[in-house]
Amino acid sequence: MENRENIVYEYLENLGIKYEKREHPPVYTCEGAAEFTGDMKGMHCKNLFFRNKKGKRHYLVIFDERKEVNIKNIGLKVGESNLSFASEQRMMKYLGVTPGAVSVFGLINDMENDVQVYIDKDVLESEYVNFHPNVNTATLNLAIDDFNRFLENCGNEINEIIL
């Protein structure tokens, strides 16, 4: 088990957050994960990490993996006219993760709270949510109340949007 994964478990346990864990082979897309996690209860969330044109602002956008969204629409929702996907280097710097492992749990590594978080309303209305624990070889299932408690403790700016 990798250290960045252990950090997630320790963080959740310190907050008294319960979760169910499923280990699986490495997956790099939501479609690839479905083979191993499709029967898990709750919403499977897609997590996209963006930067603005100048690279001064960073955004983690979380939504139901079944939704089709485009970058331009996301940009309108976050107030940026020119978003692009953040590089692997930026993922590591701000979230401590690599491609395929981007997750809300990366906020644990954002010590300066630089990343603004935008969560689709449907996610927040779900009973359970599923995310990678900063590695792409496991998926965690949390009750929405526990997910919200996690978000409150991160210190990042959290915004609800409709995608």
- Please give the structure tokens belonging to residue 88: 């692997």
Which pLDDT value is given to residue 2?
64
With cut-offs at 50, 70 and 90, classify the pLDDT of residue 19: very high
Amino acid identity of residue 42, one-letter, is G
Cα distances (angstroms) measured from residue 117 to each of 31, 89, 102, 121, 136: 23, 19, 13, 12, 20
| pLDDT per position as a tens digit, 65-110 | 999 999 999 999 999 989 999 999 999 999 999 988 999 999 999 9
CATH class of the domain defined by 3-161: alpha beta
Which pLDDT value is given to residue 125?
97
| pLDDT per position as a tens digit, 116-138 | 999 999 999 999 999 999 998 99
Which pLDDT value is given to residue 24?
86
Which pLDDT value is given to residue 22?
92
Tell me phi and psi for residue 6, to 5 degrees. Answer: -60, -35
SS3 83: coil
Task: Name 89's Cβ contacts closer than 8 Å, sequence gap at least 6.
Answer: none
Beta bridge partners of 99: none
- Please give the structure tokens belonging to residue 14: 């310190």
Task: Name 82's Cβ contacts closer than 8 Å, sequence gap at least 6.
Answer: 52, 53, 75
Assess contact for 133 and 108: CB atoms under 8 A: no
| Better pLDDT: 128 or 24 | 128
**C-alpha span between 93 and 10 (Å, rounded):** 21
Which pLDDT value is given to residue 146?
98
Question: Does residue 1 surpass a pLDDT of 60?
Answer: no
Question: Does residue 153 surpass a pLDDT of 90?
Answer: yes
Question: Does residue 112 surpass a pLDDT of 90?
Answer: yes
- Please give the structure tokens belonging to residue 78: 């976050």
Q: What is the pTM of this model?
A: 0.93
**C-alpha span between 69 and 73 (Å, rounded):** 7
Question: Does residue 30 surpass a pLDDT of 70?
Answer: no
